[in-house]
Structures are given as structure tokens and as C-alpha cells.
């Protein structure tokens, strides 16, 4: 059974039985619970921790778990309706009213209900994560001298150097700032480059988290259509001229959600157009470590071929490891680096040193390249499994592009199928999918869905998901 489901189910069973014990009464031992419910000791420990957090039990090391004394009822909540006025009072004075909406991001972060196949996930399933390697790296990091000391605000020099080597070209450690994951790096970049009210050019469709960052900053995301070869240079040039934008955010490698790779002939064109407009290109290189086994040689990051400091590069370790290993980097050259550093310091001071030390231990371990090879092979297998299953079960559903990297397929729904109705019917059939609408900053050209294959337990679930989706459409 999937661990997350086991913990919830065991906690619910124990919760329903608490009335059998008096206040302060001892619950059965962990060994007894393991034997009775046929779960692992880790599941028992996590379930008891969950009940302790709810104030239902008290755990005492070496003694066991005991029923807790009921908590005093919380006082009645006050009247918070005044906040509606306070939070909207300044909106009239803003050129582009800020909109803090995380719904598009929460779709990929929400835990699915028991029995639901998670095709809306944004991270690797635990079975694909390097859990042993991460645990070993964390243990080694904890033994490093000064592991709990304050790191440099830009990040550990050795970790910055690793990110610089990964980017390549003339990028050095001095050009890199360690951030708390890719989302934090994107937020820092947009705050540094685009003042409130400014237009920000984005690919269409694009990652909902980017649109949320832009709108929360009071910026106006302007869509630039992309095709199977990435963003269209002619429309990018027209967008710069029409809006006067000074920032273009893109994912040149395995774009989310389409999986497209910016074509070789378009790479210099994008750079030339941005340079002529006096604009920055924010390169979100989120999927470089998620290339599939058949991807072939990968193009270098745009930042590696950028002598003029046009590119602000964003990279993260999170996607290919764990959602909780929030270590990323933003790199730039020229005066903009000072602004990026200042915003990073104001926002969070620095990334905790134990996390940086763990990341450094992980990428330097012999297990790291083995993990990358394993993920590449498994993602290719899952992509082929899901695409084949969809082709057999849902012939009316179209896959405009079959990616060679990333965690998802971008699907055009059959004619006459309403997007929200499809998502609802899919969930009712036991499959969670991400609707396409949040990936567009303007009116979408049709109904789409993002179908992720990285967050499920195995290929068998992908075949079953296709069968359920076909039943939902029927």
C-alpha cells in the first residue's frame, strides 16, 4: 500500500478507537499495532505522530503512546470581514492590481484521495526518488564541521561552483546565488527585473506557478504563442515592440506543459531579439535532469552562450530529487546580480546551511549519476506506456507533441468535450488530472489537460488511468 495512504488509514482507525481508553491510558505497543494492522513500523510511528499533532495522544520515548487529555475548546473566532476592505483598498491605485492566486500550483501539490491515480502531480513518486542517497547525504552533512553555522548569503562556494559547472560556458561560481528551489529563484528574478505594473512576456501555454508569481508581483503576463519548436521568434519580436516589455520568461528545454525544446535555429534569434529590445531572458531550466533515456545530446543552456548578460538562469535540484529538497540557483552577469542578491537577502537571508550541505553531499556521491540514469530510463518507459495506453483507449484525444524529457504529456481534448467537465468526470472515475486553463495567461485556444506520469507508483497505474479516463469520457 502506498505509504501516505497507509498512514492516514491507520491514524483514522486509531482515532475511532480512542474512546476505549481512559485519559492517560496506554495504547497498544508499536509491535502490537504492526502485527494487528499489517503495516510497517514506520507507518505506525507516523500515524502516532499525526495523532500527537492533533492533541489526541501523547508519546513518551521508551514508554509508548497514551491517550491525551482533551484540549480546551478554542475561543469563538472574531469578525474578520473588515479585511476584505483593507486588502482591496489600494487596488484602485495600482496599474495592475495584484492577484495572489495559487490554485494553478496547488493542483500539483495536493495529496490525492485514497484510490485516486495522481496524473496531476508535479514531482517524482517516492519510488523514483533517491531516498537512500538523500538520507546518507543528510547524515554526512550533519557531521560536517560547522554544518549548523551561518552560510554566506550567496550560498556555499562549493555548491555555487557545482551549479556554475552545470550551466557551463563562462559562468563561474561568482555569478551564482543559491535559492530555496526554483520557485523562489523565479520570484527573485521577476522582482529584480520587472517593477509593479510592468508587462512580462511568457510562453503560451506556460507553467501556472510563473503566472502566479507575475500577478502576485503586480505584473502583467503577456502570452507569446509557442509551437513544437518552442516560442515563435516573429511573435516574440512583435510582443516586445507592442508592449515595451523588458523581460521574457521561457523554458527552452522540455517546456512545461508542452515538452517542446527550443529549436537550434530559434535560439540565437530569441537572444538577438531580446538584446535588441534591451530586455532580459529568464531561462527556467527546470527539466535538464529530467531528460528521458532517448533524448540524445541536450543543447547547452542559453546562459552558456550569453556573453552580454542577457540571460538570468534558474536551476533547481528539487524536481529530480524530492519536493522537500528545496535547493536551486539563480545566475546572472553584470549589475543585475547585485539586485538579485539584495532581494534574496531581504526575502530570506539565505538558504539553511544543512540543506545546502546535504545537496552538496548528494550531487558529489557515486549514487548521483546512477540515480539520473535510472530516472531517465523510467521516465521514458512511463511516457511510452501512457502515450500508448491513451492511443488505444482514447483515440479522440490528441497529443500534439511527444516529449523526450519532463514529467508530463500535454493533451488536446476531443472536440465537444468541455475541459472542466472532463476534469470532474475523471476525478469521479478515480483519476486526478490538471486542467489546461491555468496554463494560459489569456483565452486558451481549446480544451487541454496535463497528464503527468512521474508521480504515480508505476506503469501499471498509467494503463489503468487511461482505462478510467476512457470510461469518464464515455
pLDDT tens profile 346-376: 888 889 999 999 999 999 999 999 999 999 9
Strand partners for 250: 283
Compute, in degrees rounded to 10, the torsion defined by CA atoms 440, 403, 317, 272: -70
pLDDT tier for residue 443 given thresholds of 50, 70 and 90: confident
Average pLDDT over residues 16-35: 88
Question: What's the confidence (pLDDT) of residue 105?
Answer: 63
Cell of residue 439, nine digits: 496554463
**Average pLDDT over every residue of 191-219:** 91
Q: Whole-angstrom Cα distance, residue 470 to residue 106?
A: 25
- Numbered ranges of CATH 1.10.10.10 in the chain: 3-67
For cell 497498544, the residue is 28
The pLDDT confidence band at residue 128, using thresholds 50, 70 and 90, is very high
Q: May I ask the CATH architecture of the domain 145-363?
A: 3-Layer(aba) Sandwich (3.40)
CA distance 115 to 356: 36
Locate CATH 3.90.1150.10 in the chain: 104-128+369-473
pLDDT bin (cut points 50, 70, 90) of residue 22 is confident
Rounded mean pLDDT of the chain? 89
Joined together, the cell numbers standing for residue 49 give 505522530
Percent of the chain with pLDDT over 90: 59
**Pick from 38-47, 246-255, 319-328, 419-428: least confident:** 38-47
What's residue 391's pLDDT?
Answer: 92
Average confidence (pLDDT) over 430-451: 91
Q: Given this model, what pLDDT does residue 60 score?
A: 85
| Reported pTM | 0.81
Give the CA distances from residue 436 to residues 137, 163, 175, 235, in Å, rounded to whole numbers and listed in that order. Answer: 38, 32, 36, 22
Please report the DSSP string for 157-205 in residue order: HHHHHHHHHHH-TT--GGGEEEESSHHHHHHHHHHHH--TT-EEEEEES
Chain segment 60-115, per-residue pLDDT in tens: 887 888 998 887 766 666 776 666 666 666 555 555 656 666 666 666 666 667 78
* Segment 284-335, tens digit of pLDDT: 999 999 999 999 999 999 999 998 889 999 999 999 999 999 999 999 998 8
Give me the pLDDT at residue 177, please. 94
- 3-state helix, strand, coil split of the chain in percent (to 5) is 45, 15, 40
Helix (H, G, I), strand (E, B) or coil at 124: coil
Task: List all residues 6 or more positions away from 138 whose beta carbon is below 8 Å from its beta carbon.
Answer: 354, 358, 361
- Distance in angstroms (rounded) separating the CA atoms of residues 28 and 10: 13
CATH 3.40.640.10 domain span(s) along the chain? 145-363
Write down the pLDDT at residue 172.
92
Q: What is the pLDDT of residue 1?
A: 39
Spacing of C-alpha 133 from chain mean position:
21
More confident residue, 64 or 263: 263
Chain segment 157-194, per-residue pLDDT in tens: 999 999 999 999 989 999 999 999 888 999 999 999 98
Half-sphere exposure of 380 (CA within 13 A, CB side): 12
pLDDT reading at 37 higher than 80: yes
Structure confidence at residue 238 (pLDDT): 94
Report the candidate in 8, 22, 12 with the shortest Cα–Cα distance to residue 67: 22
First to last CA, the chain: 30
Provide the percentage of residues in the chain whose pLDDT is more than 70. Answer: 91
Per-residue pLDDT, 93: 57
Which CA distances in Å does 330 have to 145, 200, 316, 463? 27, 18, 9, 38
Distances (CA, A) of 137 to 123, 180, 182, 354, 368: 20, 18, 21, 10, 11
Task: Tell me the three cell numbers of residue 321.
Answer: 530529487
In CATH, what class is 3-67? Answer: mainly alpha
Report residue 177: phi and psi, to 5°.
-125, 125
pLDDT for the residue numbered 248: 96
| Residues contacting 48, CB < 8 A, separation 6+ | 14, 27, 30, 57, 59, 65
Give pLDDT, residue 103: 62
What pLDDT is recorded for position 434?
A: 92
Supply the angle between the helices 208-216 and 182-193 in degrees, to the nearest 10: 40
What confidence score (pLDDT) does residue 39 get?
87
Q: Confidence class of residue 2 from pLDDT cuts 50, 70 and 90?
A: very low
For residue 41, what pLDDT is reported?
86
Q: Which fold has domain 104-128+369-473?
A: 3.90.1150
pLDDT at position 81 is 67
Residue 321 CA to residue 372 CA, distance in Å, equals: 10
Q: What is the pLDDT of residue 185?
A: 92
Reported as a single tens digit per residue, the pLDDT across 371-398 is 999 999 999 999 999 999 999 998 889 9
Amino acid at each position: 500500500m502506498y505509504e501516505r495512504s497507509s498512514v492516514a488509514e491507520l491514524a483514522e482507525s486509531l482515532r475511532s478507537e480512542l474512546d476505549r481508553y481512559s485519559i492517560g491510558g496506554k495504547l497498544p505497543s508499536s509491535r502490537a499495532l504492526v502485527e494487528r494492522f499489517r503495516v510497517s513500523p514506520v507507518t505506525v510511528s507516523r500515524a502516532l505522530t499525526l495523532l500527537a499533532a492533533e492533541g489526541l495522544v501523547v508519546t513518551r520515548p521508551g514508554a509508548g503512546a497514551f491517550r491525551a487529555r482533551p484540549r480546551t475548546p478554542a475561543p469563538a473566532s472574531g469578525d474578520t470581514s473588515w479585511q476584505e476592505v483593507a486588502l482591496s483598498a489600494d487596488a484602485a491605485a495600482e496599474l495592475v492590481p495584484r492577484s495572489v492566486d495559487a490554485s494553478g500550483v496547488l493542483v500539483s501539490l495536493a495529496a490525492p484521495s485514497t484510490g485516486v491515480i495522481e496524473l496531476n502531480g508535479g514531482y517524482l513518486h517516492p519510488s523514483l526518488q533517491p531516498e537512500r542517497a538523500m538520507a546518507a547525504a543528510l547524515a554526512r552533512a550533519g557531521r560536517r564541521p560547522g554544518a549548523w553555522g551561518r552560510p554566506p548569503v550567496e550560498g556555499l562556494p562549493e555548491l555555487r561552483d557545482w551549479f556554475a559547472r552545470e550551466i557551463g560556458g563562462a559562468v563561474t561560481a561568482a555569478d551564482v546565488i543559491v535559492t530555496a528551489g526554483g520557485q523562489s529563484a523565479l520570484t527573485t528574478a521577476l522582482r529584480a527585473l520587472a517593477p509593479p505594473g510592468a508587462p512580462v512576456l511568457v510562453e503560451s501555454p506556460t507553467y501556472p506557478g510563473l503566472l502566479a508569481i507575475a500577478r502576485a508581483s503586480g505584473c502583467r503576463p503577456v502570452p507569446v504563442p509557442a509551437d513544437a519548436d518552442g516560442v515563435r521568434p516573429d511573435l516574440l519580436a512583435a510582443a516586445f515592440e507592442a508592449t515595451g516589455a523588458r523581460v521574457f520568461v521561457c523554458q527552452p528545454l522540455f517546456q512545461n506543459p508542452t515538452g517542446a525544446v527550443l529549436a537550434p535555429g530559434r535560439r540565437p534569434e530569441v537572444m538577438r531579439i531580446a538584446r535588441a529590445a534591451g530586455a532580459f531572458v529568464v531561462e527556467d531550466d527546470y527539466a535538464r535532469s529530467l531528460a528521458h533515456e532517448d533524448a540524445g545530446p541536450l543543447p547547452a543552456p542559453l546562459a552558456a552562450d550569453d556573453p552580454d548578460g542577457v540571460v538570468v538562469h534558474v536551476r533547481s535540484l528539487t524536481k529530480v530529487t524530492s519536493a522537500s529538497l528545496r535547493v536551486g540557483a539563480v545566475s546572472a552577469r553584470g549589475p543585475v546580480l547585485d539586485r538579485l542578491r539584495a532581494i534574496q537577502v531581504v526575502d530570506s537571508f539565505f538558504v539553511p546551511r544543512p540543506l545546502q550541505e546535504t545537496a552538496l553531499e548528494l550531487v558529489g556521491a557515486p549514487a548521483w549519476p546512477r540515480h539520473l540514469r535510472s530516472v531517465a530510463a523510467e521516465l521514458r518507459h512511463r511516457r511510452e506506456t501512457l502515450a500508448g495506453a491513451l492511443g488505444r483507449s482514447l483515440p479522440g484525444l490528441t497529443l500534439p507533441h511527444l516529449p523526450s524529457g519532463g514529467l508530463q504529456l500535454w493533451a488536446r481534448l476531443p472536440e465537444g468535450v468541455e475541459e472542466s467537465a472532463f476534469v470532474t468526470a475523471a476525478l469521479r472515475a478515480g483519476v486526478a488530472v490538471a486542467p489546461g486553463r491555468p496554463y494560459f495567461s489569456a483565452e486558451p485556444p481549446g480544451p487541454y489537460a496535463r497528464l503527468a506520469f512521474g508521480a504515480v507508483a508505476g506503469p501499471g497505474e498509467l494503463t489503468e488511468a487511461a482505462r478510467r479516463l476512457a470510461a469518464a469520457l464515455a
